[in-house]
Amino acid sequence: MYMNGSEYAVLMATPTDLKQLTLGFLLGEGAITRATTVERVEIDRREWVVRVQLSGEFDSTRKRGLVTSGCAAVALYKGAFGLAGVGRVRSRLRLGAGEVRKLVSRMIRRCDTYQQTGGIHSAAIAHKGGILLFAEDVGRHNAVDKVIGQAYLDSTELSDKVLLCTGRISSEILIKAARSGLPVVVSRTSPTDLSVRLANKLGITLIGFVRGGNVSIYSGMQRIVD
């Protein structure tokens, strides 16, 4: 990945939805915001290079090196768990535990590549009525980046939306959600201890182990109405 002509990062990912992945990754890092003017994103599939051109200057000293499909990239790079410039998430969203279970069930029904391979993660952005955006990738962070990147391209307001994941909820995913203003993060599996602490700090409702009739709420209970 090149930013304004300077090499910035190397990503290990499933090579689909690369524009969305790029923009979601940069948003999750804080390298760009929704107010940043991205002039173009060029995808070169022969060399597997992405070139991003911003309208303003970009600090190329922030470049990172290799980012694998499952590393603790954001937290390790930024220091202090990558919280610089990240504020508490404000939202009036309320939903029931039954609605959470239905949303996860709907996401799982769309996991075609997982059904074929058994070795891929999925992520979705949803509202109370159903799934809005969906993506799959070998890396759980990448799948999240893809749906956040698509929301950016669609100018989708996220303060009343839910982030759904199939993989473990780590501190990096919590930070990605916070930077995007997502108030609720849900997974079929577990959160880490650090992600629970961050969710409380950032005002995010964190829900894990949504399987069958089970819903485990780790933070932000005020948004769950039953």
Residues marked active site are found at 71
Those residues with Cβ within 8 angstroms of residue 123's Cβ, 6 or more apart along the chain or in another chain:
134, 135, 136, 137, 140, 143, 144, 146, 147, 163, 164, 165, 166
CA atoms within 13 A on the CB side of 91: 29
Distance between alpha carbon 84 and the CA centroid of its chain, in Å?
17
Measured between alpha carbons, how far is 139 from 120 in angstroms, rounded to an integer?
7
Q: E strand or H helix at 179, and its extent?
A: helix 171-180
